[in-house]
Amino acid sequence: MYRLPDSPTVTSFNTIGILTSGGDAPGMNAAIRALVRAALNQQMKVYGIQRGYAGLLNADMRRLSSTSVSNIIQRGGTILKSGRCEAFKTADGRAQAAHVLRENGIQALICIGGDGSLTGAHLLTQESGIPVIGLPCTIDNDIYGTDDSIGFDTAVNTALGAIDRIRDTALSHERLFLVEVMGRESGFIATQVGIACGAEMILIPEYPIELESISYTLATNRKAGHGSSGIIVVAEGTEPGLTGRLAEQLTQHGEEPRVCILGHIQRGGSPTGHDRVLASCLGVAAISYLMSGLTDVMVGTVGRDLTPAPLGNIIGHRRHDPRLYEMVTMLHK
């Protein structure tokens, strides 16, 4: 269990806003619920801003009550909707957003999202002085400054459940299955899923991928009777079609691989218990830190502690754990 902060209250807010931005992730609703109820406990008014920063620019928002967030903790997606907003990436767009917040009496903003969303929150407070707090929420779990992010555990378990079923066919037909999971620039999902399913190999964007060498190694090992699971986990990467190109190379070496692209099923579905607890704790901690006078920070996890990290220190960086990948290669030999 996480250790909640015991921060002194040095300021108060009458009204705050909450938005979810960027790609959706299981657990967003649990975070919204925790934020709303923790804020209401401090006598604050809470507005839910629809469709992320785009909704903020359009003043698309509604008052949230305790009833508004009843029975949402188990739901995937986000009741506030989400999206990306090109206009908010400009200084003029952020100035308009600040105007909308002030016009509606919203004194602070809490953003639930990934690196791009937190970058927007940082720039907003730097340029306008409006207090902001960020919550790390991405299935990629690549946000610098936190050990864990909302949605990651659910995405891993969703992919793992699918692979456990695929394995039955892979073993029955003694055939390689290339399973593509999400992760354009981060291999955390692929790495953890690969460990948990006992994959023969994982391919992630943090390391060079030589398709000819990889396909030759896999085919040679198969001919020598090495390797048993038949599962290769591939992070999607930044260039579309990587998994398909590997399948073509393997075919040239005499294999009959099958490609399974899990895609957006990893984003959806009911969040795991872990993600529900994580999101709830982060939401409560965010309100506590806001009232302690902190701004321009993300509330993340370091071990069991819920720790504020300056947004300026985390944006532009990407978390990576090379030791975990080393463990993968050792276990799969």
Which residues participate in catalysis according to the annotation? Answer: 140
For residue 235, give the H/E element and its range: strand 231-235
**d(Cα 193, Cα 265) in Å, to the nearest integer?**
15
How far lies 261's CA from each of 117, 178, 192, in Å?
Answer: 27, 8, 17
Chain centroid to Cα 29, Å, comes to 13
Whether residue 119 contacts residue 136, with contact meaning beta carbons closer than 8 Å, is answered with: no
The two three-digit tokens of residue 293, written as one number: 């006078």
Residue partners of 29: CB distance under 8 A and separation at least 6: 69, 72, 73, 75, 76, 77, 78, 79, 271
For residue 203, give the H/E element and its range: strand 201-203
Give the end-to-end CA distance of the chain in Å, rounded to a whole number: 35
The two three-digit tokens of residue 67, written as one number: 């009833």
Edge-to-edge strand ranges of the sheet holding 45-49:
61-64, 45-49, 15-20, 108-113, 132-136, 297-302, 305-310
The two three-digit tokens of residue 202, written as one number: 């994982």
